[in-house]
Amino acid sequence: MIIVHHLENSRSQRILWMLEELGFDYQVKRYQRDARTMLAPPELKRIHPLGKSPVIEDLDADGGRVVAETGAIVEYLVEKADGRLGPPPHRDSALRYRFWLHYAEGSMMPPLLLKLVLSRIPLMGKPAIKRIQPMIDVHLDYVEAELSQRPWFAGDDLTAADVMMSFPLEAARSRAGLDASRPATIAWLNKVHARPAYQAALEKGGRYAYA
């Protein structure tokens, strides 16, 4: 049994989707953000010192095991599932898999997060956002070019790389200019959202504002 410590409107929605795709037995423990600060509640620090979400507890592991950080959790689940949703066998596809797995948080999320923070700063934030958006557009154009060549990020099949990329692209669609002008990316997002496992994860996770 896996327990997912799930914060509303957060990266942990990806973990629920991943678990549904893999068919693992899991339970969701929900946490609400502070209505004023939008930060995670202090209760999460009882699970992991950083007090962040997602965090999972694998009760089937010897003595139990706590795993934090989305990418680390995703890789842990791939290993636990004997490689399902992991890297494809072909070397080029495997390299793409590793690239997108790390690109999601390492390259694409920082400017998206910066834009979100700046949008909450009156007056001074607006001029800064004008300088951030072109940086985001570079990423969106790159993603569009890649998804124009193949149905999924690593190749012909869904992998954990797609799971990782879902959150930044949902964020981009919500607040950073991703629209119908990039049809391959929109088609990919729509395909993700239509998956039964994704829909089941939404039901179990509760309120989710698509980043």
Question: Binning pLDDT at 50, 70 and 90, where does residue 210 land?
Answer: low
Q: Which residue has the higher pLDDT, 23 or 122?
A: 23
Q: Do 112 and 153 touch, CB atoms closer than 8 A?
A: no
Length of the chain: 211
Q: What is the pLDDT of residues 124-138, one digit of tens each?
A: 677 878 889 999 999
CATH 1.20.1050.10 residue spans of the chain: 91-195
**pLDDT for the residue numbered 64:** 86
CATH number of 2-85+197-205: 3.40.30.10
Buried b (16+ CB within 10 A) or exposed e, 114-142: bbbebeeeeeeeeeebeebeeebbebbee
Question: Binning pLDDT at 50, 70 and 90, where does residue 147 land?
Answer: very high
CATH 3.40.30.10 residue spans of the chain: 2-85+197-205
User: Is 44's pLDDT higher than 60?
Assistant: yes
Q: Do 178 and 172 touch, CB atoms closer than 8 A?
A: yes
CB atoms within 10 A of CB 36: 6
30, two tokens: 């929900």
Q: 3-state DSSP call for residue 13?
A: helix
DSSP code of residue 37: T
Q: Is 46 exposed, middle or buried (0-12, 13-18, 19+ CB in 10 A)?
A: exposed
- Cβ-based neighbours of 63, under 8 Å, separated by 6 or more: none
Q: Which CATH number fits domain 91-195: 3.40.605.10, 1.20.1050.10, 3.30.70.1450, 2.20.28.10?
A: 1.20.1050.10
Percent of the chain clearing pLDDT 70 (strictly above): 98
Buried b (16+ CB within 10 A) or exposed e, 177-186: ebeeebebbb
**pLDDT for the residue numbered 123:** 67
